[in-house]
C-alpha cells in the first residue's frame, strides 16, 4: 500500500514538472497577447463633429480634424508596447497614455509637423511631456525633444516601449529610438489612452501588454542628479492673481513722496516646502495646477545660500514666465520669458538653465534669495544652478 502511494506521488510530481512549463508558457502568452484595436466607432469615445471613421490607404482609420480627442474605451495601459500609424496634417498628432480617470494627468508623446521636411537633426520634431491638471508642461521639458525623419505623405509608424518609469520612442526607424525618456513624469503607473491632433489620420493601433524589450522599470540616468550646484530646496507661498499689465509694487530708494506699500512677502506670508525634481526643475505646476487662459498668477519662492566669505557667484537661471529676483532684500534682476515674442529666452521661450546668467553678490553668512514668479502660459517653474559651490552651502529641507 505504501509503495503504491509513493508510486502515485512520484507520477503526480512528474506530471506537475512536465506540465508546469506549459502552464507558464500559456499564462505568459495570454499576458503578453497582442491586442489589435480596430478604428471603429464602438471602440472609441469621441466628438462626432470633429472625428470621422474612414477607410484610408485600404485600412480602417480615424480622421481627427479640429485638435479633438479620441479616447480608447474598455482598455487601460500600464507597461508594454504601443504601436500605431499616423498620417500628418495641420496639427501636432500625439498620444496620451496612463491617463487618470478624471482625464487630467498622464504622459504625452507627440510629433510636430510645420508643413515642411524634417530630419533627425531637427530636435523639435517630437517631444515627451507630462500632463498635469489637464495641461502639458512641454515648456518645462526642453530636454525631452528630439528629431526624426517624417514621411510628409503616407504613414508614419510610431512605436512606444514603456516600462515603469522609462520610455523609448521609435518613429519610422525601428532600429534606433528617436527619443529616450529616463523618467516619465506623469505620476501614474496605469491608465487610459487617447489620441489627439488636427487634420491627422490614425490607424493600425496595436497594444502589447508587458512587452518591454530590455527596458528597465526603474528610473534611468539623469545627469543633474549628480550635480551639487543646483538650488533644490525652496519655500513657496500661495499663488494669487496678478492682472495682465500690472507690475509688483516695490520699495525702491529715492522714489520721492510716499511710496505705495510694497507687495513683497512679509511676516504673515505662509510658506510651504517645495523641492526640485530630478531634472533640477522646481515645478510649481504640480502645486498650483492648470492656468485658465488669460489668467496671470504670482507666487513667491525663497531659499538661503550660506557663504563662508564675501564673494560673487554666477547664477544660471531658467524661469517661466516672468521673474523678480531679490538678494538679501535688494532687487537684483527683473526679466520676462514670453513664448512667441522677440524677447523670448533661448531656447524658444522654454524654461531651461540656458535662459539667463546673473552675477550673484553674496555676503558672509546667510543670503536670502527671493523670487517672484508669474505664470500665464503652460508650465510654471524655475531651474537654478551656481557656477561653483566653493565656500557656499545650501539648505537640505
pLDDT single digits (tens) 71-121: 999 999 999 999 999 999 887 999 999 999 999 999 999 999 877 777 777
CATH number, span 223-252+261-393: 2.60.120.260
CATH number, span 35-209: 2.60.120.560
Compute the average pLDDT of residues 321-330.
96
Of 291 and 348, the structure prediction assigns the larger pLDDT to: 348
At residue 16, does pLDDT exceed 50?
Answer: no
At residue 3, does pLDDT exceed 60?
Answer: no
Nearest alpha-carbon partner for 237 in 296, 298, 176: 298
Residue 130, C-alpha cell as written in the block: 507630462
- Matching CATH topology for 35-209 and 223-252+261-393? yes
Query: Which helix or strand (DSSP H or E) is residue 64 part of?
Result: strand 59-64
Mean pLDDT rounded to a whole number for the chain:
90
Between CA 108 and CA 160 the distance in angstroms is 11
For the four alpha carbons of 211, 213, 214 and 218, in that order, the dihedral sign comes to negative
Between CA 118 and CA 88 the distance in angstroms is 12
267, burial (CB in 10 Å: exposed 0-12, middle 13-18, buried 19+): exposed
Compute the average pLDDT of residues 31-50.
90
Domain boundaries, the chain: 35-209, 223-252+261-393
> Beta 156-163 vs 392-393: how paired, if at all?
unpaired
**pTM surpassing 0.85?**
yes
At residue 30, does pLDDT exceed 70?
Answer: no
Compute the average pLDDT of residues 36-48.
95
Assign 139 to helix, strand or coil.
helix
Of the pLDDT bands very low, low, confident and very high (cuts 50, 70, 90), residue 24 is very low
Amino acid at each position: 500500500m505504501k509503495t503504491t502511494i509513493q508510486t502515485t506521488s512520484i507520477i503526480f510530481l512528474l506530471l506537475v514538472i512536465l506540465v508546469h512549463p506549459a502552464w507558464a508558457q500559456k499564462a505568459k502568452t495570454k499576458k503578453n497577447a497582442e491586442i489589435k484595436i480596430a478604428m471603429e466607432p464602438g471602440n472609441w469615445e469621441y466628438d462626432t463633429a470633429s472625428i470621422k471613421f474612414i477607410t484610408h490607404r485600404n485600412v480602417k482609420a480615424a480622421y481627427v480634424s479640429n485638435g479633438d480627442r479620441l479616447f480608447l474605451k474598455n482598455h487601460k495601459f500600464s507597461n508594454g508596447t504601443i504601436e500605431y500609424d499616423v498620417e500628418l496634417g495641420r496639427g501636432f498628432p500625439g498620444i496620451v497614455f496612463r491617463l487618470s480617470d478624471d482625464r487630467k494627468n498622464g504622459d504625452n508623446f507627440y510629433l510636430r509637423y510645420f508643413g515642411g521636411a524634417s530630419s533627425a537633426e531637427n530636435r523639435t520634431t517630437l517631444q515627451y511631456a507630462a500632463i498635469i491638471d489637464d495641461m502639458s508642461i512641454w515648456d518645462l521639458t526642453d530636454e525631452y525633444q528630439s528629431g526624426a525623419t517624417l514621411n510628409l505623405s503616407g504613414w508614419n509608424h510610431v512605436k512606444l516601449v514603456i516600462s515603469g518609469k522609462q520610455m523609448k520612442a521609435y518613429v519610422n526607424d525601428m532600429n534606433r529610438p528617436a527619443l529616450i525618456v529616463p523618467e516619465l513624469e506623469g505620476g501614474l503607473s496605469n491608465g487610459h489612452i487617447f489620441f489627439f491632433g488636427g487634420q491627422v489620420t490614425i490607424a493600425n493601433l496595436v497594444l502589447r501588454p508587458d512587452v518591454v524589450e530590455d527596458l528597465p522599470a526603474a528610473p534611468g540616468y539623469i545627469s543633474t542628479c549628480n550635480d551639487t550646484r543646483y538650488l533644490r530646496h525652496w519655500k513657496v507661498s500661495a499663488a494669487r492673481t496678478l492682472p495682465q499689465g500690472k507690475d509688483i509694487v516695490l520699495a525702491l530708494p529715492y522714489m520721492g513722496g510716499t511710496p505705495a506699500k510694497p507687495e513683497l512677502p512679509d511676516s504673515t506670508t505662509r510658506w510651504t516646502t517645495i523641492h526640485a525634481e530630478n531634472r533640477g526643475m522646481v515645478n510649481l505646476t504640480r502645486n498650483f495646477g492648470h492656468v485658465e487662459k488669460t489668467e496671470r498668477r504670482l507666487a513667491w519662492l525663497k531659499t538661503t545660500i550660506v557663504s563662508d566669505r564675501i564673494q560673487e557667484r554666477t547664477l544660471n537661471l531658467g524661469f517661466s514666465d516672468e521673474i523678480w529676483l531679490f538678494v538679501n532684500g535688494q532687487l537684483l534682476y527683473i526679466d520676462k520669458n514670453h513664448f512667441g515674442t522677440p524677447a523670448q529666452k533661448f531656447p524658444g521661450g522654454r524654461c531651461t538653465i540656458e535662459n539667463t546668467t546673473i552675477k550673484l553678490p553674496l555676503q558672509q553668512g546667510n543670503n536670502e534669495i527671493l523670487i517672484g514668479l508669474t505664470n500665464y502660459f503652460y508650465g510654471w517653474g524655475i531651474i537654478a544652478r551656481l557656477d561653483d559651490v566653493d565656500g557656499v552651502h545650501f539648505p537640505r529641507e
